[in-house]
Amino acid sequence: MMNSLEIFSWFEHLYIVVVLIFVIGILASGKKSGSIMAWIFTVLFIPIIGIILYMVLGVNWRRRRILKNKLENSPHKMFVSLSNELAKNELSKYDTRDIFSSYKDNVERTDKYMRDMEDHSDVAKLLYNTGSTYLTLNTSYDFYFDGGEAFDSIIKDLENAKESIYIEFFIWRSDELGERVKDVLIKKASEGIDIKLIFDGLGSFGRISRKYKKALEKAGIKYRYFLDVRYNILKLNYRNHRKMVIVDGNVLHTGGMNLGQEYIDGGKQFESWRDTNIRITGEMCVHYLAVFISDWLNSSGKFDFIIPEIEDSSSGDYLMQLCASGPDTIWSSLQMLYTKMITEAKEEILIESPYFVPDDSIFEQLKIAALSGIKVKIIMAGKPDKKIPFWVAETYFEEIIDSGMEIYRYQKGFLHCKNIIIDGKLATMGTCNFDFRSFELNYEINTVYYNKEMAGKLREQFFEDLKYCTEIKNEDLDRKGFLLRLRDSVFRVLSPIL
């Protein structure tokens, strides 16, 4: 019979074998190099817990989707069977691209619009090839840089709904704003309006009261949780960060704002909240509806939608394109979009994001742009809602400053908008932060504006925000002690998995 020392030695050797197996699995996972190094670091230096974390949070869903597609196209029955097995463990079953492809005239429209474009047609081609999204002409838009104005506009459109209301938010709270929206929804439901709501399984977890949900159910309002963490802990690390309100299929509200009172007044944590939303009428509405439908179906909802025809917006002045991606999409479309936009710049790159945690490739492109004489200005949150991304961002500051970029922290409340403006002519705004989580782990959605007027308005707001910022200088970095720098660097190594 083994004594306690021998048993310990046996378990020690078994653990080493298990760790080696996991390290080999991580190396062969197909993840990006930064993510591979972060997971190996976690498994090696956080005994047992690191392995459990990888089992729960480390699945490469994008590789599974690629493998499934390859197997489905294989003539061999064995591969098709394996594809079906993979499908059982997918993050999402329904692909937005399949819904886009059902609109057969979109390809012709996009080809025509692309021929008429003066600049940035390569950006449009990239989004079409990575996400099958089409160029759209739109008849009107309004930007909102204040939460109160944005939600007043949303509620007004909800009150005027005639057929359908489809809403999706990462965070939905049953607070003062949530009650206002609920009251309108219940009234519209009594008028026979088709209403469907999507809450993120983690972002809205514990934020909607039971009484609130019962009121929705009693009114006949359908709602679903996307990736409900109560039933599948393996999907805990993946979040639907998208935000959209679609009314009658012809009015769209989208941007950085969630449904919570803090987006109007800053809440208890901040004196104010700076964000960006947009209201759009035109072809883009139906394209967002396609994303909503796929998210609804992936949340176990049924396909019973009121789908409008795509109206002819050939008289519209505003050329836009949707860009959506997630952890299981074949391409990291939004990361590719941000990278491509940076390489398109000739004079100026303006970035606003609460967090700045880029991967090495996109950070290299920013440094190349700055060292080539292009003006690069970055605004991030100066008063953080999360400590770790704030610390990690500081590890980039020295290279940012040395390469000639300018980095600012917004001090008037919390900055939450996600905007990129290139040369005052091309811009994107939406839900995607400038960080690894948004690029690789979240379901995100942005709109690209191929319009000088729209880009100009976002640029004008950027410089208005700059008035409430402090610029980070080299001397500010010198004040930070060794232990704090070490802490920040450790979290930077782990950032691809946080």
| Strand partners of residue 142 | 279
Report the C-alpha dihedral over residues 207, 276, 393, 495, rounded to 10 degrees.
Answer: 50
- What distances in angstroms separate CA 309 from CA 119, 249, 476, one per listed residue? 29, 9, 56
* Start-to-end C-alpha separation, the chain: 44
Q: Both tokens of residue 98?
A: 């399949």
| Strand partners of residue 435 | 357
How does strand 164-169 pair with strand 244-247?
antiparallel
Active site residues: 241, 243, 248, 416, 418, 423
**C-alpha angle 9/41/486, rounded to 5°?**
120
* Backbone dihedral angles phi then psi of residue 70, each to the nearest 5 degrees: -65, -40
Residue type, 374: I
How does strand 406-410 pair with strand 469-471?
antiparallel
CA 352 to chain centre: 14
Dihedral angle sign, alpha carbons of residues 133, 418, 154, 219: positive
Q: Both tokens of residue 360?
A: 């090495």
CA 425/CA 459 separation, integer angstroms: 9
CA 452/CA 454 separation, integer angstroms: 6
CA 364/CA 338 separation, integer angstroms: 12
Helices (H), 160-267: 176-190, 210-218, 262-265
